[in-house]
Structure 1
Amino acid sequence: MPSAIESTGLRPGHAGRRYPATEPYVVSAAKIAEFATAIADQSPAYHGSDPIAPPTFAMVIAAQAWQRLFDDPELGLRLDHTIHTDQSFEWVRPLRVGDAVTATLTISSVRQRRGTDIIGLAVSLDTPAGEHLATASSTLWHTREDAS
């Protein structure tokens, strides 16, 4: 018999839940340069007059969509109980200066094992005009407060 926390929190039936797109994030040369410096990548592709964003820059935008997941009161997720265990990207094209990008998060899977939620996420990165740029897929491990 599921506990009250399990019946009102995240459950496998939440797979497929999709959240509204975030407001557009406008990619700038300054943000690309800051990110490239932070990850210590001096590739000329990320610097200069017409840079592209490093592939992992997508997480700056995807993280905005993650906030909607953690703000969903029905799921009962807590960031301080979460470990980001896996990340992958499927790219259509790199992000460029001036791109306006929205992020739409879908819960792709939910598995529960002994007080731990294993959550698959897919974040679609798109322009407001509907051009698909990339998909950022992640796996989160979330421990429930009722875990023994």
Structure 2
Amino acid sequence: MSVNPELVGRDFPPTAPYLVGREKVREFARAVHATDPQHTDPAAAQALGYPDVVAPPTFAMVVQDLTLQQLLAAPDSGIVLERTVHAEQRFRYTRPIVAGDELVARLTVTGIRAFGKGAMVTSDAEVTDRDGAHVVTATSVLLIGGDE
């Protein structure tokens, strides 16, 4: 296995704050074919009790990606991008992401499971708002192929 097993339990530094923009939410909604008006129309979102447009659930991946870039850049990870496939994704929300949120994410590697010459790397990105309140936990599994 080329992936460093000592990654398990490693916490990465928090990301720089990410300001969720209304147009970014709209663009993402179009890209994933999320047609509910709450994703594009502030009035529709406000009618549901939100201050602005609501991001589709998978939008959290935009913020989580900032943490995964830290993992992939870790010089001792043993992870080779060319052998990496994003195998699984899960989200556990406390509340939806809304335009105007300022989010910070922090990644923890929670598991590595060897298989043949490769490994599956599981990580959790805890995403919080500017007050430090939990918004979503994004769990990702990366499938890393082994050496030839």
Q: Tell me the TM-score normalized by structure 2.
A: 0.89
Specify the alignment match of 2:126 in structure 1.
124
Letter in 2 for 1:109: G
Specify the alignment match of 1:67 in structure 2.
69
Give me the CA root mean square deviation. 1.3
Which among 85, 88, 105 is matched to residue 86 of structure 1? 88
Specify the alignment match of 1:23 in structure 2.
16
Contact 1:52–1:94 (CA under 8 A) maintained in structure 2: yes
Specify the alignment match of 2:49 in structure 1.
none
1:139, CA displacement in angstroms? 0.9
Letter in 1 for 2:68: W
Specify the alignment match of 2:45 in structure 1.
none
1:113, CA displacement in angstroms? 1.6
Tell me the percent identity. Answer: 34
Letter in 2 for 1:138: S
Letter in 1 for 2:85: I
- Pairwise mapping of residues 27-106 of structure 1 onto structure 2 (< 5 A)? 27-49=20-42, 50-106=52-108
Over 4 Å off, 4+ runs: none
Q: When the two structures are aligned, how many residues end up with a matched partner?
A: 139
Supply the distance in 2 between the matched residues of 1:143 and 1:95 (Cα, whole angstroms). 33
1:98, CA displacement in angstroms? 0.9
Q: Tell me the TM-score normalized by structure 1.
A: 0.89
